Amino acid sequence: MAKVLMKGNEAMALAAIKAGADAFYGYPITPQNELPEYMSKHMKEHGRVFLQSESEVAAINMIYGAAGAGARVITSSSSPGIALKQEGISYMAGAELPAVIVNVMRGGPGLGGIQPSQGDYKQITRGGGNGDYYLYSLAPESLQEAVDLIKESFDIADYFRNPVMIAVDGLIGQMMEPVDFELETPKWDLPKKTWATDGNQKGRDKNIINSLYLDPNDLEKHDLKLKKKYDEMKRDHQRYELINMDKADIAIVAFGSTARVCRTSIQLLEEEGINCGMIRPITIYPFPSKAFDEIPKSVKDLLVVEMNTGQMIDDVKIVNEGKLPIHFYGRSGGIVPEAEEIVEKVKEIMGGE
Amino acid sequence: MAKTKTIYEKSNGLSDAHLSYCPGCTHGIIHKLVAECLVELDVLDRTIGISSVGCSALNYDFFSCDMQQAAHGRAPAVATGIKRVKPDSIVFTYQGDGDLASIGIAEAIHAAHRGENVTIVFVNNAIYGMTGGQMAPTTLIGQKTTTSPDGREEAHSGLPLKISEMMATIPGATYIERVSVHNPKHVIKAKKALKKAFEIQKNKQGFTLIEFISTCPVNWGMKPKDAVDWAVDNMIPYYPLGVFKDKTNEEAN
């Protein structure tokens, strides 16, 4: 199929429909509004469910209920709205319910602003709610990648029986790009949802969807069962891209829209004879530690670039284990860094040696 | 030996699990009524119940149908999520007054507002039972709780919230009734109300809520019999029993 020119939020909505989403529940918040708006029109056409909830809190609990009933479900929101959803997300992880949650990030804290940001890095990668759990979190850098990852994310959520977070910023939500919706995406081997409370109890025992374990021994056992999933994510499902790393003297670490900007910076630096590479995490949880094992000896410095005041830098420090000097460049408040700013930062680091 | 005949047995809608409720609490009676209604309407195997947070948090083990356990106050949102993807199922929430009238009031109101075709079983014992007897929005004036040790005062906490009266003002709601289970006559009346609510849901006629006046002997600091008398003497005068809304009847007129 030919590429279609679409706005990011609408493209992500269509990707979810293509992936067989049965229901969307959500609440308005900028800059993700085009996603539920698209859903309100097109889910109906496909005989599926769209419902605007009374709050973010209600939306995620509707997602909990429908996921528990065995449906493929998706919700979307933006930073403060995701914060409101954290209660339900924790319950879903605890009750082992699959769902896709799109976070079109804006600046914070508090009401913050409505311009693009990556200020939810920690909210996304540390679970976000109460208890020991994580979300498999994907951070695409383009609309094509966002569409492909959303199509696959329903399978990933079903496979792990755990929510998957699509972490994009307002830039990806709002910009337009040509997208091919028919590209093949990986299909995961999925068992039947025999655990679902699907309203058809004929010929089986009752099912229970629950995150309550009053006996400490039972809860610890449950926590360790969940941990196995997160260990498997870390072991087998890290995703990242290495760009221009072969003979790089310095490597940028950046995800999402920021990585996109850094691609231009790398080109500009190349024109000036500076070899700059990039590690681009595609999963921000699990953090792609394996990418750092592949750093060639030529790399002398790491530069973390984020649209926040420095959040992913902590993960880079963990996996770097003190090997290379780590530098940081960030813009926040809704400001997208210019490629030239990053070029200057790289030159400053290189010149300082 | 004389032949024996079964004249009464536990409903198939209840499991064999031991109930976790304190002696004298009316949750047991209300559970029995829910179970009997689901069996009598022949919908048990397509019913999904939702446990809330409070004394009834564990009742996913007590009913024999599919169950989901919901976060505090969120049961009506969970019910909405289920019902919209499984419109032919029967969905009920079972919520106390802390859960529904306080932390979950928004979810309850908006489920009614949208006319969700679900049934809320609302148990009002005028106190937070599970957490040890704190004041609820439904706690009566003068009633002593662990967070109103001198008795609830209007100047400090306002007047007790009348949920059925309030829910009846919501245009989207179909059927709202308040009942009590303090004696056999009222248990029979309560069952009739609950069955009507489930029938309305079965006929896809919209949102139903049955409020049960209940007791909490332990946290009220009373013997079970005294608690029943207290409910009759103090709760029912403030929370009068009866039908507050019946759209099915309005439509018939």
Quick check: is B21 in a domain? no
The number of distinct structural domains making up chain B is 1
pLDDT given for residue B1 in this prediction: 65
Q: Name chain A contacts of B202, Cβ cutoff 8 Å.
A: none
Q: Cα torsion at A30, A9, A170, A134 (round to 10°)?
A: 100
List Cβ neighbours of A126 (8 Å cut-off, separation of 6 or more): A134
Q: Where in chain A is the domain with CATH 3.40.50.970?
A: 4-193+210-236
Q: Identify the pLDDT of residue B249.
A: 86
Residue ranges making up the domain that contains B240: 27-146+158-252
Report the residue of chain B nearest A206, measured CA to CA: B66
Confidence at residue B2, expressed as pLDDT on a 0 to 100 scale: 75
Q: State the DSSP code for B46.
A: G
CB contact under 8 A, B77 and A66: no
The residue of chain B with its CA nearest to that of A208 is B67
**Each residue's pLDDT tens digit, A99-158:** 999 999 999 999 999 999 999 999 999 999 999 999 999 999 999 999 999 999 999 999
Superfamily in which the A4-193+210-236 domain is placed by CATH: Thiamin diphosphate (ThDP)-binding fold, Pyr/PP domains (3.40.50.970)
Q: Which residues contact residue A144 at a Cβ distance below 8 angstroms, ignoring those fewer than 6 apart? A: A177, A179, A180, A183
Interface of A with B (CB under 8 A): 22-23, 25, 49, 51, 53-55, 57-59, 61-69, 71, 73, 87-88, 91, 95, 197-202, 206-212, 214
Average pLDDT of every residue of chain A: 97
B81 and A62 within 8 Å at the Cβ level: the answer is: yes
The answer as to whether B19 is a domain residue is: no
Contact state of B78 with A59 under an 8 Å Cβ cutoff = no
Q: What does the pLDDT read at residue B34?
A: 98
pLDDT reported for residue B205? 98
Question: Would you say residue B17 lies in a domain?
Answer: no
Provide ipTM, 2 decimals: 0.96
Considering only the beta carbons, identify the residue of B46, B50, B71 that sits closest to A199. Answer: B46
Is the confidence at residue A352, as pLDDT, over 80?
no
For residue A327, the tally of other CB atoms under 10 A from its CB is 18
Instruction: Report, as an integer, the average pLDDT of A61-84.
Output: 98
Q: Please provide the distance, in angstroms rounded to a whole number, between the alpha carbons at the two ends of chain A.
A: 51
pLDDT in tens, A235-277: 999 999 999 999 999 999 999 999 999 999 999 999 999 999 9
Res A290: pLDDT: 98
Interface test mutation site (partner B, options A46, A53, A54, max chain B beta carbons within 10 A): A54
In a domain, B244, yes or no: yes
What pLDDT, on the 0 to 100 scale, is given for residue B253?
A: 45
- Output the pTM of the full model: 0.97
3-state SS string for A196-249:
CCCCCCCCCCCCEECCCCCCHHHHHHHHHHHHHHHHHHHHHCCCEEEECCCCCC
B58–chain A Cβ distance below 8 A for any pair: yes
Between CA A120 and CA A245 the distance in angstroms is 28
A221 CA: distance to closest CA in chain B (Å): 19
- Contacts of residue B64 in chain A, CB cutoff 8 Å? 206
* pLDDT tens digits in sequence order for chain B, 253 residues long: 678 999 999 999 999 999 999 999 999 999 999 999 999 999 999 999 999 999 999 999 999 999 999 999 999 999 999 999 999 999 999 999 999 999 999 999 999 999 999 999 999 999 999 999 999 999 999 999 999 999 999 999 999 999 999 999 999 999 999 999 999 999 999 999 999 999 999 999 999 999 999 999 999 999 999 999 999 999 999 999 999 999 998 755 4
Nearest to B70 among A59, A61, A199 (CB): A61
Query: Which residue among B57, B81, B90 places its CB closest to the CB of A65?
Result: B81
- Give the tens place of pLDDT for each residue, A272-289: 999 999 999 999 999 999
Q: Which helix (H) or strand (E) holds B244?
A: strand B242-246
Residue in the block written with tokens 């002696």: B23
CATH no. for A241-352: 3.40.50.920
Of B61, B68, B84, the CB nearest to A209: B68
Optimal mutation site among A51, A87, A206, interface B, most CBs of chain B within 10 A: A206
Q: Is B159 helix (H, G, I), strand (E, B) or coil?
A: coil
User: B103 and chain A: CB distance < 8 Å anywhere?
Assistant: no
- Residues B227, B182 contacting (CB under 8 angstroms): no
Contact call for B66 and A88, based on CB within 8 A: no
Which CATH number fits the domain that encloses residue B207? 3.40.50.970
Confidence of residue A1 (pLDDT cuts 50, 70, 90): low
pLDDT tens, position by position, A295-318: 999 999 999 999 999 999 999 999
Answer whether B46 touches A (CB < 8 Å). yes
Q: Is residue B3 part of a domain?
A: no
Average pLDDT over residues A67-71: 98
Domain with CATH 3.40.50.920 in chain A: 241-352
> CA nearest B69 in A: which residue?
A210
Q: Where are the alpha helices (DSSP H) in chain A?
A: 8-18, 34-45, 56-68, 79-95, 121-125, 143-160, 170-174, 216-236, 256-271, 289-293, 313-320, 339-351
CA distances to A98, A164, A240, A342, B98 from A155, in Å = 9, 10, 19, 37, 38
* Residue A81, token pair as written in the block: 């709205």
B111 lies in a domain? Answer: yes
Taking CB atoms and an 8 Å limit, are A212 and B58 in contact across chains?
yes
Amino acid identity of residue A105, one-letter, is: M
Are A297 and A326 within 8 A, CB to CB? no
Whether the link from the prior residue into A296 is cis, omega within 30° of 0, is no
